[in-house]
Amino acid sequence: MSAGPVLEIRDLHCVYGRKIRALKGVSLEIGRGEIVALIGNNGAGKTTLLKTVAGQLKPERGQVLFEGRSMVGRASFEIVRQGIALVPEGRRIFPRLSVVENLEMGAYWRRGADLSREMAHVFELFPVLGKRRAQLGGTLSGGEQQMLAIGRAMMAAPRLLMLDEPSMGLAPIVVDRVFEIIERINREGVTVFLVEQNARRALSLAARAYVLETGLICGCGAACDLMADSSVQKAYLGL
C-alpha cells in the first residue's frame, strides 16, 4: 500500500460526444481515512467525475490513481475489485430483486463465494435491511432504498466509498440517519468521497471539500472555512 493519497485525480477531461465538455481539467486528492465532499450545482460535472473514477466513463485525458495505481482504462468491475465502490445517483437498486439479491449484486464477480460476512456487516449497519431481506427492492421506501444502495456498495468491502447525492429526495430525518451511517462506515476505516448538491449537509459531515463549477474546481479547503466563505454561502448555502 502506498503512503500517498488514496485517490488522486490529475487534470481530468471528459466530453460527451464532441461538444459537451463536462470536465475541463479537474485535479484533486483524497487522503486515507478522510471524508471529502464535492459540492456543485446542477450540471457541474459531479456525476461525470464519479462515473469516470468508477470506470463507467472513459476520460478524454487525465489520470485517476487509486493507492498509486492507474484506474483509467480498467473495466468497472475491476475497479470495484481494486477497492472503489460507487453508490450511484438515484440509487439504481434492482426493483424486482429481493434485498438479499440486490446486496449480492454488489459483489457479483464473487458469485457463488461465501458472502455471509459482508452481508452480516451490512445488516449490522442497516438492521432494517435484515428485517426486510426477502422484500423486493422496488417496494422499499426511499430511505430504505438509499440504505440498500449503500449496503450493496459495502458488499464489495471497499477502501474508498463514493456516494453520489445520497440525500436526494429524502426527508431531513432520514438524511440524518444516512449521514450517521456514512460517518460510522468512515470510522471503521473506509475513506469517503461524498458528492452533494446539499452543500450544507455535505460540509457538516466532511472535513474537507472541493467546489466544482461547470467542469472546473473553483474552490477547496477545510469544510468549516468553506462554510464561512461568503461566495460559497451565497452560491451554495442560500445565505
Ligand X SMILES: Nc1ncnc2c1ncn2[C@@H]1O[C@H](COP(=O)(O)OP(=O)(O)OP(=O)(O)O)[C@@H](O)[C@H]1O
The residues binding Mg ion (CB under 5 A) are: 46-47, 89
In contact, 215 and 22? CB cutoff 8 Å: yes
Measured between alpha carbons, how far is 65 from 204 in angstroms, rounded to an integer? 27
Q: Hey, is 68 helix, strand or coil? A: coil
Output the smallest distance, CB 92 to ligand X, in A: 13
Stretch that binds ligand X, among 26-34, 39-47, 123-131, 217-225 (CB under 6 A): 39-47
Stretch that binds ligand X, among 4-12, 35-43, 80-88, 123-131 (CB under 6 A): 35-43
Output the smallest distance, CB 207 to ligand X, in A: 22
Helices (H), ranges, 75-219: 76-82, 99-105, 116-125, 127-131, 142-154, 172-187, 199-205
Q: Does 201 bind ligand X (CB under 6 A)?
A: no
Beta pairing, strands 216-222 & 208-213: antiparallel
What residue ranges in the chain does DSSP mark as E strands? 7-16, 20-30, 35-39, 61-66, 69-70, 84-87, 160-164, 191-196, 208-213, 216-222
Q: Does 169 bind ligand X (CB under 6 A)?
A: no
Tell me which of 45, 106, 151, 158 binds ligand X, using CB under 6 A. Answer: 45
Output the smallest distance, CB 202 to Mg ion, in A: 13
In contact, 154 and 124? CB cutoff 8 Å: no
Neighbour-count burial of 33, counting CB atoms closer than 10 A to its CB (0-12 exposed, 13-18 middle, 19+ buried): middle
Output the smallest distance, CB 20 to ligand X, in A: 4
Long-range own/partner contacts, residues 67-75 (CB < 8 A, 24 or more apart): 67/1, 67/2, 67/4, 67/6, 67/159, 68/2, 68/4
Output the smallest distance, CB 2 to ligand X, in A: 28
Q: Does 47 bind ligand X (CB under 6 A)?
A: yes
**Phi and psi for 187 in degrees, rounded to 5?**
-60, -30
Tell me which of 18, 19, 42, 134 binds ligand X, using CB under 6 A. Answer: 42
Question: Residue 197: which of Mg ion, ligand X, none does it interact with, CB under 5 to 8 A by kind?
Answer: ligand X
Considering beta carbons, is residue 20 or 239 the nearer one to ligand X?
Answer: 20
Residues 70-109: x where in contact with ligand X by CB under 6 A, - otherwise, as a string: -------------------x--------------------
Q: Which of residues 105-134 bind ligand X (CB under 6 A)?
A: none
Considering beta carbons, is residue 155 or 203 the nearer one to ligand X?
Answer: 203
Residues near ligand X, by CB under 6 A: 16, 20, 22, 40, 42-48, 89, 197
